[in-house]
Amino acid sequence: MESERQRPLVQMLGITKSFASVRANRGIDFDVFAGEVHTLLGENGAGKSTLMNILNGLYQPDAGSIRVKGRECRFSSPREAIAAGIGMVHQHFMLVPVLTVWENLVMGLPGLKAVLPKRDVIRKIGELSDRYGLDVEPEAQVWQLSVGEQQRVEILKMLYRNAEVLVLDEPTSVLTPQEVRRLFDTIRQMTAEGHGVVFISHKLDEVMEISDRITILRSGEVVETLPGRMATREMLAEKMVGRKIVFAVDKAVLNPGDTVLEAEGICALNDRGLPAIRNLSLSIREGEILGIAGIAGNGQKELCEALTGLRPIHFGRVLLRGKDMTGRKPMDFLQAGVSYIPADRKGTGLVGAMNLRENFALKNFWRKPYARGPFLSWESIAGETGRIVERFGVSAPGLGIPVRNLSGGNQQRLMLGRELSGTPDLIVAMQPTWGLDVGATEFVRDQLLRQRERGAAVLLVSEDLEEVLALSDRLAVIHKGEIMGMVEDPRSASEEELGLMMAGIRREPAIEGEKAR
Amino acid sequence: MEILVPILSAAIRSGTPILYATLGEILTEKAGVLNLGLEGLMLLGAFSGFTVTMVTGNPWVGLAAAFCVGMAVSALHAFLCVTMGANQVVSGLAITMFGTGMSALLGKAYVGETIRGLGILPVPLLAKIPLLGPVLFNHDPLVYLSYVLVGLACWFISSTRWGLTLRAVGENPRAVDAAGLSVVRLRYAYTMVGGGLAALGGAYLSVVYTQMWVEMMTAGRGWIAVALVIFGIWNPLRAALGSYLFGGVGALQLRIQAAGTTIPAPLLLMLPYILTIVVLVGISVRKGKGILLGAPAALGQPFHREERD
A1 pLDDT higher than 60: no
Which tens digits make up the pLDDT trace of A203-257?
888 899 999 999 999 888 999 999 988 888 888 888 887 776 665 667 777 788 8
CB pairs under 8 A between A and B: 83
DSSP strand E in A343-499: where? Answer: 371-372, 375-376, 426-430, 457-462, 474-479, 482-487
B100 phi, psi to nearest 5 deg:
-60, -50
Which strands make up the sheet holding A22-32, listed edge to edge? Answer: A22-32, A10-19, A63-68, A71-73
Cα radius of gyration (chain B):
19
Question: Hey, is the C-beta of B307 within 8 angstroms of any chain A C-beta?
Answer: no
CA dihedral B206, B207, B208, B211 (to 10 degrees): 70
Residue B306: per-residue pLDDT: 56
Residue A512: per-residue pLDDT: 43
Contact check, Cβ <8 Å, A58/B180: no
A326 close to A332: Cβ distance less than 8 angstroms: no
Q: Which residues of A413-437 are buried (b: 16+ CB within 10 A; e: fewer)?
A: bbbbbbbbbeebbbbbbbbbbbbbb
Sequence-ordered alpha helix ranges (H) in A294-376: 300-307, 330-335, 356-362
Q: Other C-beta atoms within 10 Å of B119: how many? A: 10
Q: For the residues of A124-145, what is the DSSP string, one character each?
A: HHHHHHHHHT----TTSBGGGS
Question: Hey, is the C-beta of B180 within 8 angstroms of any chain A C-beta?
Answer: yes
Answer yes or no: is B188 within a domain. Answer: yes
Residue A484: per-residue pLDDT: 93
| Residue range(s) defining the domain that contains residue B282 | 4-288
A335 pLDDT higher than 50: yes
Which tens digits make up the pLDDT trace of A278-334?
999 999 999 999 999 988 889 999 999 999 999 999 999 999 999 999 999 999 999
- All domains of chain A, ordered by start, with CATH? 10-241 (3.40.50.300), 246-337+425-449+457-517 (3.40.50.300), 342-423 (no CATH)
Answer yes or no: is B87 within a domain. Answer: yes
A98 pLDDT higher than 70: yes
Residue range B197-220: average pLDDT? Answer: 94
Residue range B152-164: average pLDDT? Answer: 95
Nearest to B288 among A59, A92, A273 (CB): A273
A357 close to A377: Cβ distance less than 8 angstroms: no
B306 close to B174: Cβ distance less than 8 angstroms: no
Q: For residue B93, what is the enclosing H or E element?
A: helix B88-107
Q: How far is CA A14 from the centre of its chain?
A: 30
Contact check, Cβ <8 Å, B171/A79: no
The CB-based long-range contact list for B285-290 (8 Å cut-off, 24+ gap) reads: B287/A273, B288/A273, B289/A273, B290/A269, B290/A272, B290/A273, B290/A274
Distance in angstroms (rounded) separating the CA atoms of residues A417 and A414:
5
A511 pLDDT higher than 50: no
A169 close to A89: Cβ distance less than 8 angstroms: yes
**3-state secondary structure (DSSP) of residue A387:** helix
- With beta carbons under 8 A apart, name residues in chain B contacting A274: 290
Substitution target from B160, B164, B182, B291 for chain A, most A beta carbons within 10 A: B164
Cis check: omega of the bond before A374, within 30 degrees of 0? no
Answer yes or no: is B79 within a domain. Answer: yes
Answer yes or no: is B196 within a domain. Answer: yes
Q: Helix (H) and strand (E) counts for chain B? A: 12, 0
B127 close to B134: Cβ distance less than 8 angstroms: yes
| Exposed/middle/buried for residue A346 (C-beta within 10 Å: 0-12, 13-18, 19+) | middle
Distance in angstroms (rounded) separating the CA atoms of residues A6 and A451:
56
- The interface predicted TM-score of the complex, written ipTM, equals 0.84
CATH number at residue B75: 1.10.3470
Residue range B248-260: average pLDDT? Answer: 85
Q: Which residues of B64-74 are buried (b: 16+ CB within 10 A; e: fewer)?
A: bbbbbbbbebb
Residue A515: per-residue pLDDT: 41
A69 pLDDT higher than 70: yes
B231 pLDDT higher than 60: yes
- With beta carbons under 8 A apart, name residues in chain A contacting B178: 56, 58, 78, 88, 90, 94
Q: Other C-beta atoms within 10 Å of B279: how many? A: 18
Question: Hey, is the C-beta of B308 within 8 angstroms of any chain A C-beta?
Answer: yes
Distance in angstroms (rounded) separating the CA atoms of residues B221 and A347:
38
Distance in angstroms (rounded) separating the CA atoms of residues B212 and B110:
9
- With beta carbons under 8 A apart, name residues in chain A contacting B305: 58
Answer yes or no: is B128 within a domain. Answer: yes
**3-state secondary structure (DSSP) of residue B94:** helix
A167 close to A155: Cβ distance less than 8 angstroms: no
Answer yes or no: is B212 within a domain. Answer: yes
A501 close to A507: Cβ distance less than 8 angstroms: yes
The full 3-state SS of B12-58, as one line of letters, equals HHHHHHHHHHHHHHHHHHHCCCCCCCHHHHHHHHHHHHHHHHHHHCC
Which tens digits make up the pLDDT trace of A336-355?
999 999 988 877 889 988 99
Distance in angstroms (rounded) separating the CA atoms of residues B142 and B163:
24
B5 close to B134: Cβ distance less than 8 angstroms: yes
Q: For the residues of A497-511, what is the DSSP string, one character each?
A: HHHHHHTT---HHHH
Which tens digits make up the pLDDT trace of B73-84?
999 999 999 999
Of A202 and A217, the structure prediction assigns the larger pLDDT to A217
Please tell me chain A's helix, strand, coil percentages from 3-state DSSP, rounded to the nearest 5. Answer: 40, 25, 35
- With beta carbons under 8 A apart, name residues in chain B contacting A82: 180
Residue A517: per-residue pLDDT: 39
Contact check, Cβ <8 Å, A79/B181: yes
B116 contacts: CB under 8 Å, gap ≥ 6: B57, B59, B211
Residue range A83-99: average pLDDT? Answer: 89
Distance in angstroms (rounded) separating the CA atoms of residues A309 and A300:
14
Question: Hey, is the C-beta of A391 within 8 angstroms of any chain B C-beta?
Answer: no
Answer yes or no: is B117 within a domain. Answer: yes
Residue A246: per-residue pLDDT: 61
**Would you tell me which residues 223-282 of chain B have a C-beta closer than 8 angstroms to some C-beta of chain A?**
none
Which tens digits make up the pLDDT trace of A473-500?
999 999 999 999 999 888 788 888 888 8
Residue range B169-175: average pLDDT? Answer: 92
How many domains does one find in chain B?
A: 1
B183 pLDDT higher than 90: yes
Question: Hey, is the C-beta of A269 within 8 angstroms of any chain B C-beta?
Answer: yes
* pLDDT over 90, % of chain B: 64
Answer yes or no: is B120 within a domain. Answer: yes
HSE-up of B40 (CA within 13 Å, CB side)?
21
pLDDT bracket for residue A5 (50, 70, 90):
low
Substitution target from B172, B184, B287 for chain A, most A beta carbons within 10 A: B172
Residue range B43-55: average pLDDT? Answer: 96
